[in-house]
Amino acid sequence: MPISHAEIIMGLQALELEQESKVLVHVSLPALGDVDGGAQTVIESLMAVTGTIVMPAFTPQTMVWPPRGPANNGVDYAAIDYQQLNADAVFFTPDLPVFPGVGEIAEAFRQQPFVQRSSHPAASFTALGDEAEELLATQTIEKPYGPLEWLQHHRGDVLLIGVDHTQNTSLHFAEYLVGRKQFIRWAIALEDGRGKALELPHFPGCSNGFNAIEVEIKNTTRVATIGAATARRVPLERLIPTAVGWIDEDPAALLCSDPACSRCNAVRKAGRS
């Protein structure tokens, strides 16, 4: 039996979401199983239950690379084929599709009527609801995590449906707050018909170690099953301080265990200096 609109609504209500809720949603359509109506049904269910919805609309396809750049920047410049990557890069425009890896639902959400989008060339967010404009306006090139900070201070939650904390963007905001090393990246955007390259500060590190947060926030996580997926709701006003406190105490917290991970190694190296 395909999963229905009503079943998804029941799952969201089991998480005690309601019209006052403001959610940053990371969701995998394949993880839910066979949804009757696909991505559109999931979006309409979220819209029926919660008042403010925020999703990532990330576009790494805009990123370009210099032949060499700052040291300890989580990239081996000599090892990347920058000419090929730069030839493949596309300009950011407000209607550029969300990168496929972010998920089919994030792209379908971008296309909904009344959904607004911020203008960060690689890390934009989309939002729907009365406060969408206000929360999206907090994002600038210098403050890429603005919408997450807004959600933290307006009783917002992160909602993970069929994905784990390795997809949880808000943990990168915690890394930023605690002063963990982040990276410089570059992207191209089209502004007033003219292309330009932009330097992007505070680009996040690796998220492969983020599932370690789960035990730390167990008591504040609500869990429900929606179709074949596990759905988790975590209040940002609890998640962010917990992650900040842990990283502050242990500079290796939430880093991954791959000894060849260039970004986690750059963080470890910065922590020692």
* Residues at the site binding Zn ion, with contacts judged by CB under 5 A: 206, 208, 256, 261, 264
Q: How far is the CB of 206 from Zn ion (least distance, A)?
A: 3
Nearer to Zn ion, 161 or 206 (CB): 206
- Asked if 246 contacts 171 with a C-beta cutoff of 8 angstroms, the reply is no
Tokens of 125: 């967010």
Question: Closest distance between Zn ion and the C-beta of residue 214, in Å?
Answer: 17
Residue of 12, 7, 10, 2 lying closest to 160 (CA atoms): 12
Nearest CB to Zn ion, comparing residues 127 and 264: 264
Quick one: 37 or 271, whose CB is closer to Zn ion?
271
DSSP H stretches of helix in 155-223: 170-177, 213-216
The β-bridge partners of 157 are 23, 235
Q: Which is nearer to Zn ion, 231 or 254 (CB)?
A: 254
Minimum CB–partner distance for residue 261 and Zn ion (Å) = 3
Question: Under DSSP, is residue 130 helix (H, G, I), strand (E, B) or coil?
Answer: coil
SS3 (DSSP) at 187: strand
Task: Please list the residues that pair with 203 across neighbouring strands.
Answer: 183
Name the residue nearer to Zn ion (CB basis): 72 or 208.
Answer: 208
Least distance from Zn ion to the Cβ atom of residue 252, Å:
11
Strands 183-191, 194-203: pairing kind:
antiparallel
Asked if 177 contacts 266 with a C-beta cutoff of 8 angstroms, the reply is: no
> Least distance in Å: CB of 137 to Zn ion?
32
